[in-house]
Amino acid sequence: MLLQFLNGLINKLNFTSKKSIRLFKPSLGKRELKEVRKSFKDSWIGLGPKVKIFENMWSDYLGCKSAYALNSATAALHLSLSVFKFKPGKKVLVPSLTFSSTASAVLYNNLIPVFVDCDINTLSMDIDDLDRKFDEDCVAIIPVHYSGHPCKMESIVPWARSRKLKIIEDCAHTAGSIYKGKRLGLWGDIGCFSFEEKKLLTTGDGGMICSNDKDLLKNLPSMRWVGIDKDTWKSAKSYVDNVNTSMHWYYEINQLGYKYNMNDLSASLGIIQLERLNYFLKKRSQIIKRYLNKLKNCPHLIPLVPYEPDIYSYQIFGIRTKYRDELIKYLKKNRVATGCHYSPLHLQPLFKQYKSSCPNLESQADLLLTLPFHVDLSFRDIDFISKKIYKFLSTI
């Protein structure tokens, strides 16, 4: 009995003193590696047939008519505005609480970002502030499902349609959620998803642009591939076919394009990750419920958003506390990684020239704290983190 007690004590000390708990972490295994090896064996690792397979799988999963895999969600946001060919100088409504790519994509298209305040409860776009910020120069809106919690699309969509605004959903923090009977990503004209390392499924870096309007995305294959009108892997097959022509190499460039394509190595990961997605989402739901249960009576904090883990998929789990900075330092001493998502964009030097007032967000920005959240996080990890948070905030 004494030996068991000592071993348990040693394990506990090792856990608390040596182990670092990561903020985010992809879940990768033998299946992903096996699929990547197939691409190595085929000696085709660029834009190839696996990208198409992954696109078809994603279209089936989301239930959309068109989907094109890109090297990032940033690329998807850029091209989603580009397809509309808006006049330079027009305005796009974006939340101030989002990753920089949402607003940078507006600048890439020579458009003007208009920063919208957040709803105090959900931290997504505030409908009243949309009304205040809208004017006749606005041409589009980019709602962001912050942390994975759905925006009020049932209000945003009719509001935007009545003002003839194009709707681009930034779904970087979600995948698979159904909101009021419809998949997130299909409420607007275009949906943009992220498969970056930290996301719900990963291709290393990568993204997807989707729509139920095939004509809207008809030029995407060339827009993502430097303006060239046919895929390299299809062209390569014709290099040695039996057709009596010397022009198999010929292509045309009819528009300005970008080097935004996904490659087969990334798609190899995506194919397997998508097959595992339901497991990922179930595990994430369990982790959130564990956190919420362990922290439910903790003083001086509230959940980051009104989490509903049995219904929606989330990429970020966090809390709000006025003792955020002190708690960050305390958790760091206990080798627990934390983050803050995000610093308000309207206060960033790059965007300050687009003057905006977002009092709700400014009142909340210094409270936001992101906690470790990934599929490989154990309940023991969660209990340890929660206990440390509870201990710290209970002594204040």
pLDDT digits (tens, 9 = 90+) for 81-110: 999 999 999 999 999 999 999 999 999 999
pTM: 0.92
Buried b (16+ CB within 10 A) or exposed e, 313-335: bbbbbbbbbebbeebbebbeebe
pLDDT tens digit sequence for 33-66: 999 999 999 999 999 999 999 999 999 999 999 9
Q: What is the mean pLDDT of the chain?
A: 93
User: 9-18, 135-144, 328-337, 352-361: which range is least confident on average?
Assistant: 9-18
Residue 19 pLDDT class (50, 70, 90 cuts):
confident
Mean pLDDT of 279-292: 98
The CATH number given to whatever domain includes residue 102 is 3.40.640.10
Domain that holds residue 104: 2-394
CA distance 26 to 256: 34
pLDDT of residue 116: 98
Q: What is the pLDDT of residues 234-269, one digit of tens each?
A: 555 555 566 667 777 788 898 999 999 999 999 999
Cα 85 to Cα 80: distance, rounded to the nearest angstrom: 10
Domain count, the chain: 1
Tens-digit pLDDT profile for residues 105-137: 999 999 999 999 999 999 999 999 999 999 999
